[in-house]
Each structure stands twice: as C-alpha cells, then as structure tokens.
Amino acid sequence: MRHSLSCLLSSLAQSRTLSLSLRSSPAPPVSFFFRSLTQRRRQSLPSPRLARRFAVEIKIVRDMGGHDESETSGRKESEEIDVPIFSGENMQSNMKVIYYSRTFMSIIGGVIAGILGFTGLTGFIFYFLVMAITSIGLIAKTGFSIHSYFTSWSQIIFDGFLGGLLSFVLFWTFAYDIVHIF
C-alpha cells in the first residue's frame, strides 16, 4: 500500500497537478514521509552493482565541485527537473572575469588598430571583431557549456560590449598618432 502510494506520488511528480495537491492537502507527518522514502530507495536498488555505482557517483560529484582557475561553476541544473541552485558570488566573479577580459582586449585591440593604421569605419569594425574574438575565447574557456557558468547566452556575448569602446578609441588614437603622424 505504501509502495503504491509513493509510486503514485512519483508518477504525479511529472505533471503539474502535484504541486497543487501538496498545497491543499495537510502536510503528512515528516517521519512517515521519510520512512516511505527510505523504503522506496531500498526497493529500487535491484542489485549490489548499482549500489557501488552510487558510491562512485558521489565521489565524482565531489571532485567536479572544485574550482577552475578563473571561472567557477555557478549553477547546477538537472535535465528533467528545473531546480536552479545559484551561487551568487560565483556568478558575480564570472561577470567580473568577462568585464576584465573585455577591457583588456579592447585596450590591446586599440593599440593594434593604431599600429596597423586603421581609419574611420575600419577601426570600429575591428573593434567589433576584437569583441567577437573575446566572446569566442570566453565561450571556449567555459568548455562550450555555457549554462553551467552563466544564466543565458546574452550575458556572455553582449555584456560589456560597448563598455570598452572608449578605452579602445583612446588607445587607437594614441597608437595611431605615435606611429603615423609623428
């Protein structure tokens, strides 16, 4: 009886009606709930092989929980169930990494544009090219799994796009003048 009830609950979990029923019905005593959970777990482990894998899986998860050099994985999300767990300071530090990379690349890009003698529109196209290269580099740094580091595509591509423009223009003018005019 308990097993079928918990199976029913779990099958309902896929549909939206489960949340409604949980709110309207009185909450079951906690001990009963936990007992049913443990019972179900024991029944769903058919063989000792699966138990060993379970232990291995925990170890793997702990190893992957370490930090990268510059970017820290900020989000964990399961495939079927959407339970976003954000780590606020990781996400903030990721945004700072994007900002610093873009500023640095815009300065370097400005110097390059000045030395190569770009004028007018060519220079601004070069600026967008440099920003695109920065975006591709950042995406490659995340290992092409954007969603474990940022909330959305737009953050890593468009954030701080125009922030480096003034620094770019400054260093572009500087290098251009030093090399070409004087």
* 19 scored as a contact of another protein (CB under 8 A): yes
* 89 scored as a contact of another protein (CB under 8 A): no
**Cα–Cα distances in Å, from 135 out to 87, 92, 96, 142?**
23, 18, 14, 11
Residue 64: partners with Cβ closer than 8 Å, 6 or more residues away: 73
Contact (CB, 8 A) for 74 and 148: yes
Contact (CB, 8 A) for 160 and 102: yes
d(CA 4, CA 89): 43
Choose, by CB under 8 A, the member of 7, 37, 125, 162 that binds another protein. 37
Contact positions with another protein (CB under 8 A) in 107-166: 107, 113-114, 118-121, 123-124, 163-164, 166
The contact set with another protein (CB under 8 A) reads 9-10, 13, 19, 22-23, 27, 30, 37, 40-41, 44, 49-50, 53-54, 56-57, 78-81, 83, 86, 96, 99-100, 103-104, 106-107, 113-114, 118-121, 123-124, 163-164, 166-174, 176-178, 181-182
